[in-house]
Structure 1
Amino acid sequence: MVDVPCKKPPKFIFHLILIIGLIFIIGLIFIIGLLFMASAPPNLTTPNLTTPNLTTPNLTTPNLTTPMSNGDGAGPVNMADRLLSAGICPQTWHEHGNRCFLYVGDDKNWTDAEAYCVARGGHLASVHNQTMLDVFAGYKGYIKWFWVGGYKENGEWKWMDGSNFGMTVESSMGSPQNCVEIFSDGLRDYDCDFNQPFLCEK
């Protein structure tokens, strides 16, 4: 009887079996790790969310109807007077002190000039001192004279706004006249029916 020698398996088979075994072991470890992580409860914490402090700003509406003192002891003044004293006058009007003035170059007699000013919320202008007279004289431009709000009643000079007159009026025509104009740098009486420019105030 003749013995037949056994053939050894090729070496690559052993290498293949070794690689398959390593892959199996690594896969098993990975699966066990996944199972372990899945079994642990997740640490879920609620973030600390705070609501911003939204407060309504303290907005106060100015009281436009409450009288306020004008600071000179003359008593309360209304909002219109406060705006005038702040230098806020209608367009084409000029501010002086706490009043607004409008020079009108159209020729009118004294009565029509006063009516024009009243229709715009004022009167013909009143002059209370030389400083104001100098300022008003500057409004006339090339015009030499214009009406202001002085008039004579029962022989006494008065202003249309009711304020104290307190000024000297020169005579212009030799005989007394009943209306006042600014002429050069002073006040003088003149014929009320004469047509000339004028100065309104409010």
Structure 2
Amino acid sequence: MTSAFLFALGLCLASVLVTGDEEPCCPFGWTKFGSRCFNFNYNSKIWADAERTCISFGGNLASVHSLEELNLLKAWMNRVTSHLAQTWIGGHDAVKEGVWLWSDGSSLNFTQWAHGQPNNSGDEDCVEILCERKLKHIRRSREQLTGNRHTAQREQK
């Protein structure tokens, strides 16, 4: 984990909203994984700015709830970045030190992190994925999903 002051890339994530018999779809430029859509943002940002970017797209930084999701995200991020990357995701303990949550409000119940992580080293309050590449973010949108760069996630419409 690194300090929230490090510039990074991010991943935004979105949950899928299914209505009737329609096949859920993601917004243009977003990638569907299961019931969520992801978008990878190549602009380096601090964690809080990455989360605000995801919110502006109707989502949050990505949340991870299983090893399968983590492996899918890491494989996808390795494909879209083609270089070493640390990527912001939505985990944080900014509300109460040592109590980790996802920025989308869900509990951080996934525990298969690297040994001793998250560890609050350097008084950090944020979670990142190290994919042996550089920092971006993944957006989470309410339509589907897109982390030190960041990945956004959002609901499908």
Shorter-chain TM-score above 0.5: yes
Asked if residue 147 in structure 1 is aligned to residue 88 in structure 2, the reply is yes
Q: Identity over aligned residues, as a percent?
A: 31
Code of the aligned partner of 1:178: D
Q: 1:172 to 1:121 in 2, by over 3 A?
A: same
**3-state SS of the aligned residue for 1:128?**
coil
Q: Which has the larger radius of gyration?
A: 1
Code of the aligned partner of 1:160: S
Distance 2:109 2:127 in 1: 13
Give the alignment partner of residue 130 of structure 1, picking from 51, 60, 67: 67
Code of the aligned partner of 1:146: T
| TM-score, length of structure 2 as denominator length | 0.63
Partner of 1:104: 41
| Preserved CA contact (<8 Å) 1:124 1:160 | yes
Q: 4+ runs of 1 displaced by more than 3 Å?
A: 171-176
Distance 1:176 1:167 in 2: 21
Alpha-carbon offset, residue 121 of structure 1 = 0.5
Asked if residue 198 in structure 1 is aligned to residue 123 in structure 2, the reply is no
Alpha-carbon offset, residue 174 of structure 1 = 4.1
Distance 2:119 2:130 in 1: 10
Distance 2:84 2:17 in 1: 30
Deviations 1:82-127 (A, max 9, x none): 16x9341011101111111101111111011001010010000100
Q: How do 1:20-169 and structure 2 match up within 5 A?
A: 81-82=17-18, 86-141=23-78, 142-152=83-93, 153-154=95-96, 155-168=98-111, 169=113
| Preserved CA contact (<8 Å) 1:150 1:159 | yes
Q: 1:86 to 1:176 in 2, by over 3 A?
A: farther
Code of the aligned partner of 2:149: P
Distance 2:119 2:109 in 1: 19
Aligned residues: 112
Q: Structure 1: give runs of 5+ residues left out of the alignment.
A: 1-79, 186-195
- Structure with bigger helix share is 1
| TM-score, length of structure 1 as denominator length | 0.50
